[in-house]
Amino acid sequence: MDVKCRKIGRCLVVTLSGEMDHHSASAARRQIDGAFHAEGAQHIIFDCHPLAFMDSAGLGLVMGRYRTAASLGGKVALACVSRQLDRIFTMAGIYRIVQKAPSVEAAVQLLEGGHA
Q: How many separate domains does the chain show?
A: 1
Q: Return the pLDDT at 113.
A: 83
CATH number, domain with residue 52: 3.30.750.24
Q: Round the average pLDDT of the chain to a whole number and report it.
A: 94
Q: Which domain covers residue 54, as residue numbers?
A: 2-112
Rounded CA gap, 38 and 78, in Å? 21
Q: Return the pLDDT at 116.
A: 42
CB of 19 closer than 8 Å to CB of 53 = yes
Kindly state the average pLDDT of the residues 3-9. 97
* pLDDT tens column, 31-72: 999 999 999 999 999 999 999 999 999 999 999 999 999 999
Residue type, 87: R
At residue 14, the 3 state secondary structure works out as: strand
- Whether pLDDT at 23 is above 70: yes
